[in-house]
Every structure is written in structure tokens, then in C-alpha cells.
A and B are shown apart, each in its own frame.
Chain A
Amino acid sequence: MGTVALLAFACATTQREAAKSPTVCDRGLCARIVSRELTNVVELEVAAPPNVALFNAWVAVSDGPPCRGGRALNAVGARGGVRMKGPLPLVAQQKLKLAFTLTLSSGRFLDLDVRGPAESICLRLPVDASPAADAGVAEAARHE
């Protein structure tokens, strides 16, 4: 319930469009950061090939190898529910909300670890780096 409330609250109060976020694709898996909510929730649009699942996600604090470390994912909001543990099967098109315990500030990367029966895909998305965006997040944090 707590996370549901968090996600609903975030949606209602501090959602901020990340209009300039690029769509990143690899082997049929595409993802784009749609918005950041509060300071630790990010909403994604994900298009996935068949038979793959989200295994993990990380917020990498440095430009190191992707999907190898950082702050690990805590919860996923998907299809109206909250999943407290993975993996999460992906469908062709969906929106996901990923919650971390780390503030999503600029200069960080969001790594998605997606696996299928034959291969793994690690998709690295840059977290919005615009100063205005960070100011918005900081403002949201002040209102928490």
C-alpha cells in the first residue's frame, strides 16, 4: 500500500515531463524516460520483444560498465500494481515506474537488465541532465 500511495502521490503532485529524454534501443528493446517523480521514482515507456523480462535495474552513479552495480531497484509499478520482487515479464508496450532508494540526480544512468531465453540486454538510459529538471526535482524534494 505504501508504494501504491507513493506512486499515486508522485503522479498527482510532482510528475515532471522529461520531454527531451532520448529513446534508447537495443535488439528490439526500446525504452524512454517519460518522467521523474519525487526524487527517486522514474517512469518509463518500454517496448519489448517477445519473451523477455525485466530482471533488474540500477542507478549507476558513475560511467562504469552498465548493469554491473550502483543502486539496485527496490520496487516496480506496472499495470496498476506494485511488484516487490522480480522478474517482471514485459509485453510489447508498457509503462513502468521504477522506485529506488537513491535520489535520481543528473549525470547518472539508469541501467535496465532485461533477459530473454537466449540473451540478455542491458539498456543504459541517461537520467535527465538539464539544470531545470534538477531544480524541479529539488523543489519536489522540499515539498516532501
Chain B
Amino acid sequence: MSDRARVARLTALAVGACLTGCVESGFRPATPVTVATSTAALEVEVLDLGAGLIVSKPDGLESVGGTVVRVRWHAREDGTGIARAFLSPPAAAPCTAGLVARAIDVDGQTRWDRPVGLGREHVVAFGFPWDDRVTAEPLVLDVDVRGAGGPACVRLPLTGGGTRYVARSNFVAGAAAGLEVGLRAHGGGALFFDGIVGRWAGPLRFTVRAGLGAGVGSRVASGDDDSSLNSSPKWVDLHLAPELSILPFVWGSRAIGITASYVVATATSGSGTVADPERDTDFMGPRLAVVLAHVLPPPLGASAHRAADAVGLELSLLRASAWPSGSGGVTYVLGLGVLFW
């Protein structure tokens, strides 16, 4: 895959994460990773590592996804500066090789000056272009520091060497939209839009999914109910579903997930006229879905089965106790949607 495609995918993930509530994504070290240096009289601690938008232009028109490393910066004196930063393999000579930080952000401000002038206490975020090796190979963060004592290179071990990472937050939020089709004759179809909230518990993802659907379909003539013969009811429905999801199969940034849920819904159709009487249909039933996802690969040292962010396709089958365009009875409903986790 080309670099452009990778960046596009990552940007989509980061934007997707933000669209779904800007949930704190990313991973923090399970045990503190801190480096102190006497040359530059400072201490640097890794706060977290993850994907994010590197807002590289002030107008916000050009934002690209990449790897963001955030550190807590504690200097004993004012006036130290950051000239450059690198993500590199541990074997590289310090501050000479690897990915060069494209953006340096200090306490929420993207900084233009180089060296970036700093005071004593800051949170500094380094934005790097995306590279798949970030999630698979041991890495260090090299910070080229300029201080009163002269230039120094501060090296922080990021991944590898037994460093474990855990997700910053167990809270999850997502969204889904797609199409559902009743598999019976005259089953009709519906568009659905769902919001998803919940949390991870180990490798299990417990969520509640709620949303609305809007459908159309030919109603099956039932008995001597002439009013419904050949009519095409339109309906709206509200639905709610507790869900349990897992990501058992993960290969790098590709994953297959399985979601089981139980859907409870109520639908209203008809215009309320004699020819088209209003009709309520309550339905419920189990729903099973397979998710083909592009996940944000976690860093080396974190569980691969707990995607921080994902975007993918969801193929689902619902066994509904009824269906708004049906004449009653069990209907199987096939769904296809786009999912942001």
C-alpha cells in the first residue's frame, strides 16, 4: 500500500475517532518510562503513544494522520529548547536517523520556532508521519535538546524491551450507518443510523447501540385486509441493542470482529388515513454480525485484540420477531453498514 493510502487510512481513523466523540485513544506505558539527563538538566516521561491528527497547517485545511508521542517535560531551568525529534530503532545513533517529527506541540500549541523554546514544565507532543513499523518494531524517541550546557540528545525507550502499553481509556464510542433488507418476499429495506457507547473489559467490548431506521417496502396482503394490498408502507423505527464484541482475528491493521446483540425496536408506518392506517410494529430478536475492520494497530507491547479505533464494514443478520413491511411472523433481516469504533 502506498504511503498516501496509509496516510489516508490513518486520517480516516483519526477523524472517525474524533467524529465519534474524540474519545481519548492511544496507549500509555503500564509502568512509567522516564529518562533523566544531567547534561540538559531535565527529566522526560512518556505519557502516551497513539495515532492522531498532525495539524500541520494553521488554517486546519491540511491535517494528516500520524503517530503522536506525548511526553511530560520537566526542566530544572527555563530556556531549554527542542531542535528536532526522531522516532528511530534502538540501534540507530542518537538523534541522527529515523522519522523526523513533523510537528511539535507544546501545551496545546503547535510551535514554529526551532529550537522550540521551553520553560520548566510542559506537555510536549511530537507528531510523526505514519509508518507501519511503529506498531511492530522496537523504537526509541530521540529528542535533540539545546540548553545552557550545549546540545544533548535525550533518548527515551518507547517500545520493545518488555515495555507494556495499556489503553488510555476503557470508554468506547462509535457510530454505524447502513442498509437492512428483509429476506422475505416484499421484505423491504431500511436505512439505519446508530450511535454506540460502552467500554472495554479485557478483550471484550460491551456496548449499547441505539439509533433510528427509515424504511420502505411492499406490504404483504394478509387475509381480507384490502387496505394493505400492494401498498408500500414507509416506516421509521427506533431501536436499541446491548452488544458484545470481540476481535479474535487481527493481522496488523486488518481485523475480523464478531458482534452479538439483542435488538429491541418499535416501528411506526402508515400516514394515518383510512387508505393507509397508522400501524405500530414492535419487534425484537438476536443479531449476529461480522465486522471486517481496518484497526489502528496498537504499539508493540499492547494487546492486539483491543483496537483503539477502527473503521470497517459490518455484515449482520437479525432474526426479527416481526418486520414493519411484513405480515407478521419471524423475518430474517440482512444488514450491511459502515462502522466507526
Using a CB–CB cutoff of 8 Å, the interface residues on chain A facing chain B are 1-3, 5-6, 40, 55-57, 71-76, 83-87, 99-101, 113
Find the A residue at minimum CB distance from B103. Answer: A84
Residue from the set B58, B60, B109 with the largest chain A CB neighbour count within 10 Å? B58
Is there contact, CB below 8 Å, between B110 and A74?
yes
Is there contact, CB below 8 Å, between B61 and A85?
no
- Total A-B Cβ pairs within 8 A: 61
The answer to whether the Cβ of B279 comes within 8 Å of any Cβ in the partner chain is no
Give the contact stretch, choosing among B111-119, B220-228, B310-318. Answer: B111-119
In the complex with contacts A72-B111, A73-B113, A74-B112, A84-B56 CB distance below 8 A: yes
Q: Which among A2, A100, A113 is the interface contact of B113 at CB below 8 angstroms?
A: A113
Bound complex: CA A71 to CA B112 (Å): 11
22 interchain pairs, CB-CB under 8 A = A1-B61, A2-B57, A2-B59, A2-B60, A3-B57, A3-B58, A3-B61, A3-B62, A6-B57, A55-B113, A56-B117, A72-B111, A72-B112, A72-B113, A74-B110, A74-B112, A84-B112, A86-B112, A87-B114, A99-B59, A100-B58, A113-B113
B 61-77 binary contact with A (CB < 8 Å = 1; else 0):
11000000000000000
Is there contact, CB below 8 Å, between B61 and A101?
no
Bound complex: CA A74 to CA B62 (Å): 13
Bound complex: CA A5 to CA B58 (Å): 11
Find the A residue at minimum CB distance from B84. Answer: A85
Bound complex: CA A74 to CA B114 (Å): 12
Bound complex: CA A132 to CA B116 (Å): 36
Q: Given the complex, which residues of A lie within 8 Å of B111, measured CB to CB?
A: 72-73
Is there contact, CB below 8 Å, between B59 and A6?
yes
Bound complex: CA A113 to CA B117 (Å): 11
CB distance from B331 to the nearest CB of A (A): 50
Residue from the set A55, A83, A113 with the largest chain B CB neighbour count within 10 Å? A55
Q: Which among A2, A55, A73, A84 is the interface contact of B61 at CB below 8 angstroms?
A: A2
Is there contact, CB below 8 Å, between A85 and B112?
yes
CB distance from A75 to the nearest CB of B (A): 5
Task: List the 7 closest pairs (A to B, CB-CB), nearest first.
Answer: A2-B61, A74-B58, A2-B62, A56-B113, A2-B57, A6-B59, A73-B112
Majority secondary structure, A binding face: mixed
Bound complex: CA A99 to CA B56 (Å): 12
Find the B residue at minimum CB distance from A57. Answer: B112
CB distance from A54 to the nearest CB of B (A): 9
Q: Which residues of chain B from 18 to 45 have any CB-CB distance to chain A below 8 Å in the complex?
A: none
Bound complex: CA A76 to CA B60 (Å): 15
Bound complex: CA A3 to CA B58 (Å): 7
Is there contact, CB below 8 Å, between A75 and B109?
no
Bound complex: CA A42 to CA B175 (Å): 40
A86-B113, A86-B114 given. 14 additional CB < 8 A pairs?
A1-B61, A2-B57, A2-B61, A2-B62, A3-B58, A3-B61, A5-B59, A6-B57, A71-B109, A73-B112, A75-B57, A86-B112, A99-B58, A113-B113
Bound complex: CA A71 to CA B56 (Å): 16
Is there contact, CB below 8 Å, between A101 and B109?
yes
Q: Given the complex, which residues of B lie within 8 Å of A83, measured CB to CB?
A: 112
Is there contact, CB below 8 Å, between A40 and B58?
yes
Is there contact, CB below 8 Å, between B112 and A56?
yes
Find the B residue at minimum CB distance from A67. Answer: B117
Find the A residue at minimum CB distance from B107. Answer: A72
Q: Which among B62, B106, B110, B117 is the interface contact of A1 at CB below 8 angstroms?
A: B62
Bound complex: CA A3 to CA B60 (Å): 9
Find the A residue at minimum CB distance from B117. Answer: A56
Is there contact, CB below 8 Å, between B113 and A87?
yes
Q: Given the complex, which residues of B lie within 8 Å of A3, measured CB to CB?
A: 57-59, 61-62
CB distance from B121 to the nearest CB of A (A): 14
Find the B residue at minimum CB distance from A6. Answer: B59
Q: Given the complex, which residues of A lie within 8 Å of B59, measured CB to CB?
A: 2-3, 5-6, 99
Q: Given the complex, which residues of B lie within 8 Å of A100, measured CB to CB?
A: 58
Find the A residue at minimum CB distance from B104. Answer: A85
CB distance from A127 to the nearest CB of B (A): 17
CB distance from A53 to the nearest CB of B (A): 10
Q: Given the complex, which residues of A lie within 8 Å of B58, measured CB to CB?
A: 3, 6, 40, 74-75, 99-101
Q: Given the complex, which residues of A lie within 8 Å of B113, measured CB to CB?
A: 55-56, 72-73, 85-87, 113
Q: Given the complex, which residues of B lie within 8 Å of A73, measured CB to CB?
A: 111-113
Q: Given the complex, which residues of B lie within 8 Å of A1, measured CB to CB?
A: 61-62
Q: Given the complex, which residues of A lie within 8 Å of B117, measured CB to CB?
A: 56
